[in-house]
Chains A and B, each alone.
Chain A
Amino acid sequence: MSFDPVAIRRDFPIFERKIRDGKRLVYLDSGATSQKPQVVIDAELDFYRLHNAAAHRGAHQLAEEATDIYEGAREAVARFIGAEVDEVVFTKGATESLNLVAYAMGNAPLGSRFHLEKGDVIVVTEMEHHANLIPWQQLAARTGATLKWFEVTPEGRLDLSSINSIIDEHVKVVALTHQSNVLGTIVPLTEIVNRAHSVGAVVVLDACQSVPHMKVDVKALDIDFLAFSGHKILGPTGVGIFWGKSELLAELPPFLTGGSMIESVTMESATWAPAPRKFEAGVPNMAQAAGLGAAIKYIESIGIDEIHRHEISLTGYLLEKLNEVPRLKVIGPMDTVDRGAAVSFTFGDIHPHDLGQYLDSQGIAVRTGHHCAWPLNRKMGVQSTTRASLYLYNTFEDCDDLIAGIHGAAKYFGA
Chain B
Amino acid sequence: MMQLDNLYQEVILDHYKNPQNKVLDPNSDAQVHHVNPSCGDEITLGVRLDGDKVLSISWEGVGCSISQASTSIASDLLTGKTLEQARRISEDFLQLMQSKGSIEGDPEVLEDAVALAGVSKYPARIKCALLGWMAFKDASLQAEAKKAK
What residues make up the interface of A, taking CB atoms closer than 8 Å to B? 20-21, 351-354, 357-358, 361, 368-370, 374, 377, 383-384, 412-414
Contacts and interface: CB of A to CB of B under 8 A. Distances in A.
Given A21-B3, A370-B40, 13 more contacts: A351-B65, A353-B64, A353-B66, A354-B8, A357-B7, A357-B122, A361-B1, A361-B4, A370-B39, A377-B40, A384-B40, A413-B8, A413-B65
Nearest to B39: A369
B38 interface: yes
20 contacts: A351-B63, A351-B64, A351-B65, A352-B39, A353-B41, A353-B64, A353-B65, A353-B66, A353-B125, A354-B65, A357-B7, A357-B8, A361-B3, A370-B39, A374-B40, A383-B41, A383-B62, A384-B39, A413-B8, A413-B65
B103 interface: no
A413 B63 CA distance: 15
A53 to B, nearest CB: 38
Question: Interface extent on B, as a size class?
Answer: 10 to 19
Contact of B40 (A357, A358, A383): A383
A238 B68 CA distance: 36
B13 interface: yes
Contacts of B7: 357
A358 B8 CA distance: 10
Given A351-B65, A383-B62, A357 B38 contact: no
A413 B13 contact: yes
Contacts of A383: 40-41, 62
A31 B143 CA distance: 44
Interface of B: prevailing SS:
mixed
B64 A354 contact: yes
Interface of B: 1, 3-4, 7-8, 13, 38-41, 62-66, 122, 125, 128
B13 A357 contact: no
A241 to B, nearest CB: 27
Closest 10 CB pairs of A and B: A353-B64, A369-B39, A351-B64, A370-B40, A361-B4, A384-B40, A354-B65, A383-B62, A354-B64, A353-B39
Contacts of B62: 383
Contacts of B1: 361
Best-surrounded residue of B8, B38, B64 (most CB of chain A within 10 A):
B64
A413 B62 CA distance: 17
A21 B6 CA distance: 14
Contacts of A370: 39-40
Nearest to A370: B40
A64 to B, nearest CB: 45
B4 A358 contact: yes
B102 to A, nearest CB: 21
A364 to B, nearest CB: 13
